[in-house]
A and B are shown apart, each in its own frame.
Chain A
Amino acid sequence: MKRSFVLVALLALVNSGCSKKTTPAATAKPTAFGAAIVESSGGKQITAVGTRLPQPVVVQVNDEQGNAVPGAFVELSAPAGVTLDPPNGLTDSSGQFTSNVGLGGIAGRYQITASTTDKSQKRVESKVEEIALGYQEVVGRQLNDQYCDRCHNSESTPERVSNFDNLEIKPHGFSEGDSLNKLSDADLTAIITHGGPALNKSPSMPPYGYTLSKSDIQAVIAYIRAVSDPPFHGFGLVYAKNQ
């Protein structure tokens, strides 16, 4: 009897020493269940690859009446490379769960799924999309902040007042995929290089071909493509059919 106990203890010791996987942190027990989960804030953020999003992702659990549910268990899941801090937990007193998210090392869009279970243990989820920028797109973003944003971004901050409202013909926001995705790279290059009138657009858009280099303009376009909503899928490469 005593011997078997020692053996079991020994086995347990060896087991715990050898297994590299750390036991997952004890998950909190939910005290309530909601019926729906919605994104509260932190979606559609843009950051460089591998880095942390400027704002945390906040999701809210609601009941059937749409009231916030505190104490519901929320779990986030994301593609490999994404760090979630914390990955799961209970909603706070206002029914919200907050997590700091770092995106993975590959540029592109990352979908983070927030899920909770309702009373009947059915999984309900909501998806939050974030955008990671590669090197060229980061350059584009910097150039956008310096040259483009003042007119193309309608939001004003105390440090940078937007010129959007002052323009007769309203410029397109860079995330307006519905209109910008229809323009080819060549068209965008022409507009940026030669100004709006080059493609019969607003004369308020000045030419930047003398100010920005070719690679700068490519970078700005790469940024526009990266942040477009709905996503830009490209026109694809065209090949002769192999008969």
Chain B
Amino acid sequence: MALKDKFATIWQRLFGDSVRAFGVVSLLFLASLAIAPAKNYFSEWRHYQGQYLKMIRGRGEALTLRRHFQGDLQQIWLPELGVVDRCTTCHIGLKEPSLADVSYQPFRKHPAIPHSLDQFGCVMCHRGQGPATTVEEAHRSTLAWEQPILPAKYTESSCGQCHRDSLTGTPQLNQGRALLARSGCLHCHAVKLADGTLLKATDDPPSLSHIADKTTREWIYAWIKDPQAYASSATMPNFKLSDDAARDISAFLIANSTPVAGGSLSLSAAKAATDPTAGGSLYGESFCASCHAVQNAAGNLVGGDVGPELTRVGSKVKPEWLQGWLRNPRTYDAGTGMPHYRFNDQQIATLSRFLMAKTDSDLLANVHLDTATPEQIAHGKRLVMDYGCASCHEIGGIKKPENFAPELSRIGSKPITQLIFLQGMPHTLPDYIAGKIRNPRAFAQGLKMPQHTFTPAQIDALTTALLSLNDRSRSLPPSLMVAGRTEPDYQPAGKAGQLMHDLACFSCHRINGRGSDMAPDLSWEGSSVQRKWLQDFLKNPNTLRPALIRRMPRFNLSDADINELTDYIMTVYQSPSVDRDSMPASGYSQVEVETGKQIFYSKYACQSCHIVDTKRDKGYVGPTLTQVGSRLSAAWIYAWMKNPQALRPGTIEPNRGMGDDDARALTAYLMSLKGSGRLEAKQ
């Protein structure tokens, strides 16, 4: 009762008569009008601006910073890029060099990058919500926004939105793209760029059409059950096959295999060399290790990763196949990157004995397969189609499936609502992608994506590369796009061209943009070297850089072949900027030679990296120059002295900005170094 009375009294006081009521309602109205400005006044960003002003007050450069400070909301608006960024409202000191030592956000200076904030804004690289003005909305995904800030470890992916080329500053992105191309991803997943080009895989999984010639069903069984058990470096992923599935797939592959046309496999009658170490020596002399790795006693892989690992090759291949392969790899696989070595029969027998001894008795110890039944073979075929084996491997009678796995062209913008996350996994796109690469089968029952063996760093790199394939990269103006390097389909012509294909020159050398970076670019080799030297080198390649592991092997070429190659290289691979006749090969005065020698040792200190006098000089960075006068052409040396990068981009020899006189004197000196004609550097 009392409560009701009290209420009535208050009512009477406030709204008792019309004047009172009007006054009170006006006050309420005024107060409600004040809500908006008050909210603005107490906003988060004003709080940060206040903090900033407080922070700079104590610093030496306070006056400058205070002068640069602009209050209120700040915005970078770039309509053509779709950027409306208010980040600079709180991140006030982004452009202040003196705030580089601030260790907390949001006031730290932005680290040095090649782009200006005013031209690109913030979300281009960092994602997040540009227009948001609260910390929560700008950085995290909330109900209204889906795009959270990109974690720092993936920031390089944003460079990849425009840059398809490989930048010096984005090693992780470059690694991820290389992995994407060579780990088999692109065989199943298509990636189409905005300009319509399809990314190409760089690996070349072997054809399985003639597999029965090469290996046994038992090895196939063991291999597809666990490829990494055979070779730790294998790129083939683990499909986690059941025993029955592996039994049936191996049965199908053997039954489906046809003998290589014209290839009758038989063991050579030639005897291997009697010396038991001869095989190892031949393996070393042929520089097999430039491409193939073998695990040493300590468990480390020694050798290159161009060809397959050979640690247990004796448990894999049939001896008659291996001999045929060593005789001429192109009989079995016309497109292989392995050179045709032209070994004689005894060498083949010796090398195959050496390789066949590399066995692992544990590998096939528990594999006992009964003769396959027709049902098993048919089931094996179904499994091969199910798992998309033909996406990577050529298999006789099975077509390469189209779009076997989801296209990844826009994977970097996949909405979170379309993703299924694992329990306990942060709900973000990068975490989803990384999780999927790490353990693809965990996401649902019956998934087909196999288990790769990537290190955590490789997973981060792959995720970075995939995040760069996003919607933004497709909506940016084409003028911003930087095209990637596409490998041209260069083919050298004629008989020499066939020889170069046979010797697989492109597996190590690059010529006219095609090939690999393992060995020197040969595009201008004809301008560079002397004919006689090239002939001798092809006959018996001695190393120019004793410190290198990877070296040019000896191919046992016939004189006719050597002449053919030499003629072609000397006439076709000429640089337009090096005129061979511009510098004489000989006839330099003694004074010029002496001057050259003097500046070689004193002014330019070339001996720091090169060796001329094997007793005195020790430099091991550049090639040995003991007989450079018999190797290089004078015009090339002169042009090289003037600007090495112009002749071979990326070479580590610095451009010294040399004057004409010095370059000529050095050319004179270097041309006088004819060597004794014998191998001087110890191999």
Contact = CB atoms under 8 A, between A and B. Distances in A.
B608 A167 contact: yes
Contacts of A215: 114
B112 A142 contact: no
Nearest to A208: B654
Contacts of A51: 152-153, 172, 457, 460
A206 to B, nearest CB: 5
Given A52-B456, A104-B152, A136-B112, A166 B618 contact: yes
B254 to A, nearest CB: 40
Contacts of A105: 151-153
Given A159-B549, A237-B61, A207 B457 contact: no
Interface string B405-429: 0000000000000000000000000
A217 B77 CA distance: 33
Interface in A152-182: 158-159, 161, 163, 165-167
A163 B549 contact: no
Interface string B20-62: 0000000000000000000000000000000000000000110
Given A151-B621, A163-B620, A215-B114, A135 B151 contact: no
Nearest to A50: B152
B112 A138 contact: no
B586 interface: no
Given A51-B153, A163-B608, A222 B172 contact: no
Contacts of B652: 146-147, 150
Given A49-B152, A106-B108, A210 B171 contact: no
Contact of A143 (B168, B170, B618, B643): B168
Given A51-B172, A159-B549, A150 B152 contact: no
A107 B457 CA distance: 19
A179 B605 CA distance: 23
A206 B654 contact: yes
A219 B643 CA distance: 23
A121 interface: no
B152 A166 contact: no
A237 B97 CA distance: 9
B582 interface: no
Nearest to B457: A52
A146 B517 CA distance: 14
A105 B128 CA distance: 15
Contact of A139 (B98, B168, B602): B168
A120 B201 CA distance: 61
Given A136-B112, A166-B618, A142 B171 contact: yes
A50 B111 CA distance: 14
Interface in B595-620: 602-605, 608-609, 618-620
B153 A102 contact: yes
A50 B98 CA distance: 23
Contacts of B457: 51-52, 54
A106 B61 contact: no
B113 interface: yes
A89 interface: no
Given A50-B155, A108-B103, A207-B654, A142 B456 contact: no
Nearest to A150: B621
Main secondary structure of the interface of B (DSSP, over half): loop
Nearest to B151: A50
B63 interface: yes
A210 B169 contact: no
A211 B655 contact: yes
B540 interface: no
Nearest to A145: B171
The range of chain A's interface size is 35 or more
A209 interface: yes
Nearest to A133: B111
A234 B620 CA distance: 36
A48 interface: yes
A236 B154 CA distance: 32
Interface residues of B, number: 48
Contacts of B643: 210
Contacts of A81: 152
A171 to B, nearest CB: 10
A163 B603 contact: no
A107 B103 CA distance: 9
Contact of B657 (A48, A54, A210): A210
B169 A135 contact: yes
A43 interface: no
A106 B643 CA distance: 39
A135 B619 contact: no
A242 interface: yes
Contacts of A165: 618
A81 B390 CA distance: 44
Contacts of A230: none
B12 interface: no
Contacts of B155: 49-50
Interface string A124-142: 0000000000111011001
Nearest to A212: B654
Given A138-B169, A206-B654, A215-B114, A52 B460 contact: yes
Nearest to B651: A211
Contacts of B61: 237, 239
Interface string A66-94: 00000000000000010000000000000
Given A102-B153, A105-B152, A159-B549, A151 B608 contact: yes
B645 interface: yes
A108 B652 CA distance: 29
A215 to B, nearest CB: 7
B66 interface: no
A208 B547 CA distance: 24
Interface string B105-136: 10010011110000000000000000000000
A40 interface: no
Contacts of B448: none
Contacts of A219: 169
A199 B325 CA distance: 59
B112 A222 contact: yes
Nearest to B657: A210
A238 B105 CA distance: 25
B605 A161 contact: no
A118 B456 CA distance: 34
B605 A206 contact: yes
B549 A206 contact: no
Contacts of B645: 211
A227 B618 CA distance: 29
A189 interface: no
A45 interface: no
Given A135-B169, A147-B652, 11 more contacts: A106-B105, A136-B112, A139-B168, A150-B621, A158-B549, A161-B620, A166-B608, A167-B608, A210-B643, A210-B656, A234-B101
In order of increasing CB-CB distance, the 10 nearest A-B pairs are A50-B152, A105-B152, A50-B153, A134-B111, A210-B655, A166-B618, A204-B608, A136-B112, A139-B169, A161-B547
24 contacts: A48-B171, A49-B153, A50-B152, A50-B155, A100-B456, A135-B169, A136-B111, A136-B112, A136-B169, A142-B171, A159-B549, A161-B620, A165-B618, A166-B618, A203-B602, A203-B604, A204-B608, A207-B654, A207-B656, A208-B654, A211-B645, A215-B114, A222-B112, A242-B63
Interface of A: 48-52, 54, 81, 100, 102, 104-108, 134-136, 138-139, 142-143, 146-147, 150-151, 158-159, 161, 163, 165-167, 202-204, 206-211, 215, 218-219, 222, 234, 236-237, 239, 242
